[in-house]
């Protein structure tokens, strides 16, 4: 190998010496650019999915209300909430259309195939809503089955939002997504509580199974609230605590105590109508929805800031790579040309000396190896 290198022309040797560190630098910059590109792509996918989560959240909210209204309608055997249920269905349809229209411009190609399959499955389930509504109107479906249908629709959508954390390259954003998902699960359990409570207050009775489910939903809300508190920002959790201490939730807790009181509060249970419970629970859930919108907007803003930062790093590193490559090329070119000119003059002088012309004028000696060669020539020593 050393013998081969010794045979190389000086110009080629210099070129080789400039190429080796250049390649190393370019490889390093390539790795930086690759990481920046992956981060930018993940954040772009996350940003789009966060916007989808807002549409999903709005649809889930309306489906939660329709679920509660459906439970109240069925529990009263069609005697209560018929007009309210029809009105709510229109609101749900509006949210569904908005969601589906958003999906028309949604780029699924940047996600895993499994995600597209899950989303397709969710949309297929949505198509079953008209049949369920027809069965509800005809009182041809059990309340538990109807509630389970809407709960399944909501759970599938919330699972999509939960998968957002897998896309984030930023630990802080992961925490925010976890808290957002926990909050949505808290709100979903509150919606289920509204539906179960509506059925109980409408029929003036909470059978053991219904009461057990009612209690479990309260416990689950508390558990998801703890997760939300763990990962949410102090400011957002402070807003949640204000909501919990508000008039709507205080009144709702009073109704909860009555429902959980069993036989001792049978008369108090009869004093509260299903629509009254539903309205009180809806006030709280509507407040939760407002906070949900705040959390989602904050998450979108933070994600976009991170995406802009990733784009800035990507542009910077690509610029450094381009400028660095250009500088190495220019410096190599200048050095090679300079050496070529110096050696060209020496070679010409040597050829003249070899032909017997001792009066040839040599280039002025420089303070490098080329200058030493000039000083050692016969013409230079003669002078």
Say if residues 253 and 246 touch (Cβ distance below 8 Å): no
Say if residues 245 and 210 touch (Cβ distance below 8 Å): no
Residue 19 in this model has a pLDDT that exceeds 80: no
CA pair distance 141, 139, nearest whole angstrom: 6
Residue 61 in this model has a pLDDT that exceeds 70: yes
- The CB-side HSE value for 45 (13 A sphere, CA atoms) comes to 21
Region 3-26: what's the mean pLDDT?
Answer: 64
Residue 361's pLDDT band, with cuts at 50, 70 and 90, is low
Q: Beta strands of 105-149 (E only): which ranges?
A: none
> Which one has a higher pLDDT value, 183 or 364?
183
Residue 363's pLDDT band, with cuts at 50, 70 and 90, is low
Residues 71-104 have pLDDT tens digits of: 989 988 888 889 999 999 999 999 999 999 999 9
Residues 106-140 have pLDDT tens digits of: 888 888 888 888 889 999 999 999 999 999 999 99
Instruction: Identify the pLDDT of residue 354.
Output: 67
The residue ranges of every structural domain in the chain are 2-28+321-382, 29-316
Percent of the chain past pLDDT 70, that is, above it, reads: 79
Region 222-241: what's the mean pLDDT?
Answer: 94
Instruction: Identify the pLDDT of residue 238.
Output: 95
Region 317-337: what's the mean pLDDT?
Answer: 75
Provide the whole-model pTM.
0.72
Instruction: Identify the pLDDT of residue 100.
Output: 93
Say if residues 78 and 139 touch (Cβ distance below 8 Å): yes
Residue 142's pLDDT band, with cuts at 50, 70 and 90, is very high
Instruction: Identify the pLDDT of residue 89.
Output: 96
Region 359-375: what's the mean pLDDT?
Answer: 62
Instruction: Identify the pLDDT of residue 316.
Output: 77
Look over the chain and give the mean of its residue pLDDT values, rounded to a whole number.
Answer: 82
Chain mean position to CA 284: 28
Region 319-329: what's the mean pLDDT?
Answer: 75
Dig out the tokens for 14 from the structure. Answer: 């210099």
Residues 260-314 have pLDDT tens digits of: 876 556 677 778 888 899 999 999 999 999 999 999 888 888 888 877 777 777 7
Instruction: Identify the pLDDT of residue 315.
Output: 78
Residue 156 in this model has a pLDDT that exceeds 90: no
Instruction: Identify the pLDDT of residue 87.
Output: 95
Rank 20-34, 213-227, 323-337 by mean pLDDT and report only the highest: 213-227
Dig out the tokens for 8 from the structure. Answer: 């190389």
Instruction: Identify the pLDDT of residue 265.
Output: 62
| Neighbour-count burial of 356, counting CB atoms closer than 10 A to its CB (0-12 exposed, 13-18 middle, 19+ buried) | exposed
CA pair distance 252, 195, nearest whole angstrom: 13
Instruction: Identify the pLDDT of residue 81.
Output: 85
CA pair distance 138, 197, nearest whole angstrom: 22
């Amino acid at each position: 190998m050393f013998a081969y290198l010794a045979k190389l022309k000086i110009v080629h040797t210099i070129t080789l010496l400039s190429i080796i560190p250049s390649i190393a630098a370019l490889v390093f910059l390539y790795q930086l650019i690759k990481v920046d590109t992956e981060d930018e792509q993940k954040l772009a996918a996350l940003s789009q999915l966060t916007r989808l989560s807002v549409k999903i959240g709005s649809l889930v909210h309306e489906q939660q209300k329709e679920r509660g209204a459906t439970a109240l309608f069925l529990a009263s055997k069609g005697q209560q909430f018929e007009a309210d249920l029809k009105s709510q269905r229109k609101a749900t349809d509006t949210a569904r259309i908005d969601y589906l229209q958003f999906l028309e411009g949604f780029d699924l190609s940047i996600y895993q195939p499994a995600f597209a399959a899950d989303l397709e499955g969710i949309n297929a389930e949505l198509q079953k809503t008209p049949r369920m509504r027809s069965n509800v109107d005809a009182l041809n479906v059990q309340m538990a089955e109807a509630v389970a249908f809407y709960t399944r629709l909501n759970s599938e959508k919330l699972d999509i939002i939960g998968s957002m954390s897998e896309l984030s390259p930023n630990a802080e954003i992961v925490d925010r997504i976890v808290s957002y998902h926990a909050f949505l699960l808290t709100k979903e359990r509150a919606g289920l509580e509204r539906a179960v409570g509506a059925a109980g207050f409408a029929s003036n009775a909470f059978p053991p199974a219904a009461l057990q489910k009612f209690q479990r939903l309260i416990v689950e809300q508390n558990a998801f609230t703890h997760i939300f508190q763990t990962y949410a920002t102090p400011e957002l959790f402070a807003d949640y605590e204000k909501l919990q201490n508000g008039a709507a939730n205080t009144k709702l807790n009073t109704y909860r105590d009555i429902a959980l009181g069993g036989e001792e509060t049978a008369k108090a249970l009869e004093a509260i109508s299903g629509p009254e419970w539903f309205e009180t629970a809806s006030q709280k859930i509507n407040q939760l929805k407002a906070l949900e919108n705040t959390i989602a907007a904050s998450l979108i803003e933070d994600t976009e800031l991170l995406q802009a930062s990733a784009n800035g790093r990507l542009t910077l590193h690509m610029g450094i790579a381009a400028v660095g490559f250009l500088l190495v090329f220019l410096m190599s070119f200048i050095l090679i040309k300079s050496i070529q000119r110096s050696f060209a003059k020496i070679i010409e002088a040597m050829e003249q000396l070899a032909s017997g012309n001792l009066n040839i004028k040599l280039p002025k000696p420089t303070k490098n190896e080329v200058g030493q060669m000039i000083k050692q020539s016969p013409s230079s020593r003669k002078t």
